[in-house]
Amino acid sequence: MDLDTSTWEKTAQAKGQAILKAIPLEWRVPQPIPPVDVTGAYIQGFLNAREIEITEADAVAITTQTTSGKWSAVEVTEAFCHRAAIAHQLVNCLHEIFFEDALRVAKELDENFAATGKPTGPLHGLPVSLKDQFHVKGVETTMGYVGWIGTFEGNKDDPRAGVVESELVRELRNLGAVLFCKTSVPLTLMTGETANNIIGYTWNPNNRRLSSGGSSGGEGALLALRGSPAGFGSDIGGSIRIPAAFNGVFGLRPSTGRMPYEGVANSIDGQNTVLSVVGPMATSIGSLKLLFKAVLSQEPWLYDPLALPLPWRDDLEMETQKLIKESSGRGPLLSFGIMRHDGVVQPHPPVKEAMVFVTHILKELGHQMIEWDPQLCKEGQEIAERAYNMDSGEDLLSHISLSGEAQIPQCLVETGKHLNAREVAALNVQKRQYQKKYMDHWNSTSKKTATGRPVDAIVCPTAPHAAVIPGKFRHTGYTSFVNVLDYTSVVTPISRVDKGIHRFEPLPQFLSEVDQMVYDAEIYHGAPVGIQLIGRRLEEEKVLALAEYISKNIADFGGEGYVQPRA
């Protein structure tokens, strides 16, 4: 490249400034930002009562209002644009801002409603944010790479730039959604923190000394600040679940083939040993379900060759709800595997306690809890790592080298051996055999359950720690084995770190080198903790129903951001 270092820095800086400039002057926030926690009262201070009312409703409540014409799309959109603008200034969570386009679309939706008396679709007037991998007309996609600025996925003079839209975007428009911003990612997408040379670091709104997670970190942070009611991220090793857990919001990693990935920019595209998937993130489980179901109603399998012809299965949802309903007082009709750690890195005290809390609640509700041996985790983690690095980092490095930008410590590209086709095939066989082993183990639990059926889901941490200290993210082991298995996983917020309760506990022994991660109650104070509920492959309907039930009970038992009683 003929660009020197100063050039990429200028390009990056100009783009960062352009993002800020897209925010109307009247929505600017005075710098510096004083508090550690900018959620709740702090961000509310920038908004009027009506804006707060709208933006603190979840997607289900919002669409109830907008599809019945009670709230206008324009009013809802404006409120979220305002709050998202504030959010970005507090934690650096946006890559693209297109509020004017959003308001134009909202106006059209309102006009259409006025003319027909009917909503455009189930997401009529709902603002939806998108991780900066999705292509939206008239808007750039940088995916955190300086070399992608002013190009189409790094290709200069590509006629698709600013013109094509991802299949999901097309479907969201059909459904009546209003797209208004794209959220920040780490360049490469291959890390659990969000940092790049364009916007810098995306901070955790609950505790600005901590990470928002990654790679859908901007999405997680924006949702935590209620700058968006719902959005879409992607997950190849935890990239939806980690930021959901770190930010105290909900996220669904579906199995491959349910949500359309067609026409979405990606890292290491074509690596198909462990596939990245698209999934919704939101401020309630109901919202995840709303988005997931709405997209399926568009029959993505007719437009995306990798999407499966699996519409939303009411029967699977109903069956699960029946088991939940009939469980109370009738002996266990549901059973859960509890995996307290992954055998490699032990969870910090707040995460450990969140697991105790969830176990306690599920037992109280009359369900059977079965200890889940973590011994199968490690092989999954290793397969994932080898899949991610099978090309020796060549694809990732090619995008970094487009501009010659500096590597960022959080996004260092792992190199190593470049596999050949036969070695890739051997890895695919190992992966399948691993999946089979896990499947057999899951089936074998039918011998242990009172129901005579295998466990309904597995409960486990999302990460060994709450939202991590910048630069300290090192272990995706709690999430990446799920990608290798292609299971369905929902992250649900459980609690927050409380320095008065979650004290440092010296570990009796380390399970691995990475296990020596220091827990510091002072620094972690206030950081959200979320756990995973993992179901079998393509069981999204079931897992969402179970997660909704658990999430509701967590709230009833005083969880979800509150200090919880010891079990």
Among 421, 452, 500, 508, binds a copy of itself (CB under 8 A): 421
Selected catalytic residue, list 72, 129, 239, 335: 239
> Nearest distance from residue 80's CB to a copy of itself, in Å?
33
Selected catalytic residue, list 72, 184, 212, 215: 215
User: According to the 3-state scheme, what is the secondary structure of 309-347?
Assistant: CCCCCHHHHHHHHHHHHHHCCCCCCCEEEECCCCCCCCC
Residue 48 binds a copy of itself, judged by CB under 8 A: no
Kindly write out the interface string for residues 376-405 of this chain, putting x where it contacts a copy of itself by CB under 8 A and - elsewhere. Answer: --------------xxx-xx----------
Residue 436 binds a copy of itself, judged by CB under 8 A: yes
Which residue number, 10 or 432, has a Cβ lying nearer to a copy of itself?
Answer: 432
3 state DSSP class of 242? helix
Beta strands 178-183 and 127-131: pairing type? parallel
Among 191, 204, 211, 273, binds a copy of itself (CB under 8 A): 273
Separation CA 519–CA 348 (nearest Å) = 6
Q: How much is the CA Rg of the chain, to the nearest whole Å? A: 22
| Residue 239 annotated as part of some ligand binding site | yes
Residue 308 binds a copy of itself, judged by CB under 8 A: yes
| Residue 236 annotated as part of some ligand binding site | yes
Q: Which helix (H) or strand (E) holds 459?
A: strand 457-461
Separation CA 327–CA 502 (nearest Å) = 33
Residue 452 binds a copy of itself, judged by CB under 8 A: no
> Nearest distance from residue 440's CB to a copy of itself, in Å?
8
Q: Packing angle between helix 99-116 and helix 73-91, nearest 10 degrees?
A: 160
Residue 426 binds a copy of itself, judged by CB under 8 A: yes
Residue 165 binds a copy of itself, judged by CB under 8 A: no
Beta strands 335-338 and 457-461: pairing type? parallel
| Residue 121 annotated as part of some ligand binding site | no
Interface with a copy of itself: number of residues (CB under 8 A): 43
Spatial neighbors of 557 by CB under 8 A, at least 6 apart, are 357, 361, 364, 564, 565
Q: Is 239 a catalytic residue?
A: yes
Which CA distances in Å does 4 have to 156, 394, 405, 406, 434? Answer: 18, 21, 9, 11, 46
Residue 68 binds a copy of itself, judged by CB under 8 A: no
Q: Distance between alpha carbon 40 and the CA centroid of its chain, in Å? A: 21
Among 2, 302, 447, 509, binds a copy of itself (CB under 8 A): 302
Among 4, 100, 111, 269, binds a copy of itself (CB under 8 A): 269
| Residue 238 annotated as part of some ligand binding site | yes
Residue 406 binds a copy of itself, judged by CB under 8 A: no
| Residue 480 annotated as part of some ligand binding site | no
> Nearest distance from residue 454's CB to a copy of itself, in Å?
9
Which residue number, 265 or 554, has a Cβ lying nearer to a copy of itself?
Answer: 265
DSSP 452: S
Residue 318 binds a copy of itself, judged by CB under 8 A: no
Q: Are 401 and 388 in contact (CB under 8 A)?
A: no
Residue 297 binds a copy of itself, judged by CB under 8 A: no
Kindly write out the interface string for residues 465-504 of this chain, putting x where it contacts a copy of itself by CB under 8 A and - elsewhere. Answer: --------------------xx------------------
Among 255, 266, 304, which Cα is nearest to 544's?
255
Which CA distances in Å does 102 have to 3, 120, 125, 128? Answer: 35, 15, 10, 10
Residue range at the interface with a copy of itself (CB under 8 A); choices 226-234, 345-353, 420-428, 500-508: 420-428
Among 30, 32, 309, 329, binds a copy of itself (CB under 8 A): 309
| Residue 237 annotated as part of some ligand binding site | yes
In sequence order, what DSSP letters do the residues of 102-166 get, joined into one string?
A: HHHHHHHHHHHHHHHSS-SSTTTT-EEEEETTB--TT----TT-GGGTTSBTTBTT-TTTTT---
Among 495, 479, 532, 243, which Cα is nearest to 350's?
495
> Nearest distance from residue 167's CB to a copy of itself, in Å?
9
Q: Which helix (H) or strand (E) holds 53?
A: helix 49-55
What is the token pair recorded at 22? 């897209």
* Residues catalogued as catalytic: 131, 215, 239
Residues annotated in a binding site for substrate: 189, 215, 236-239
Would you tell me which residues interact with a copy of itself (CB under 8 A)?
Answer: 262, 268-273, 301-306, 308-310, 390-392, 394-395, 418-429, 432, 435-436, 439, 443, 485-486, 537-539
